[in-house]
Amino acid sequence: MFKKVINYPGFWKSVYTLAIGFCVVYIIVDFVITYDFNFDEFKAARFANFEFIKLIIGGLASGSIYGFIVTYFKFKGKIKEQEKGD
- 72 to 1, 4, 57: CA distances (angstroms): 11, 10, 22
Q: What is the pLDDT of residues 6-57, one digit of tens each?
A: 888 999 999 999 999 998 888 888 777 776 666 666 666 656 667 778 888 8
Q: What is the pLDDT of residues 50-86, one digit of tens each?
A: 777 888 888 889 999 999 999 999 999 999 998 887 6
Q: Is the pTM of this model over 0.95?
A: no
Angle at 59 between CA 42 and CA 33, to 5 degrees: 40
The residue count for the chain:
86
Is the distance from CB of 75 to CB of 5 less than 8 angstroms? yes
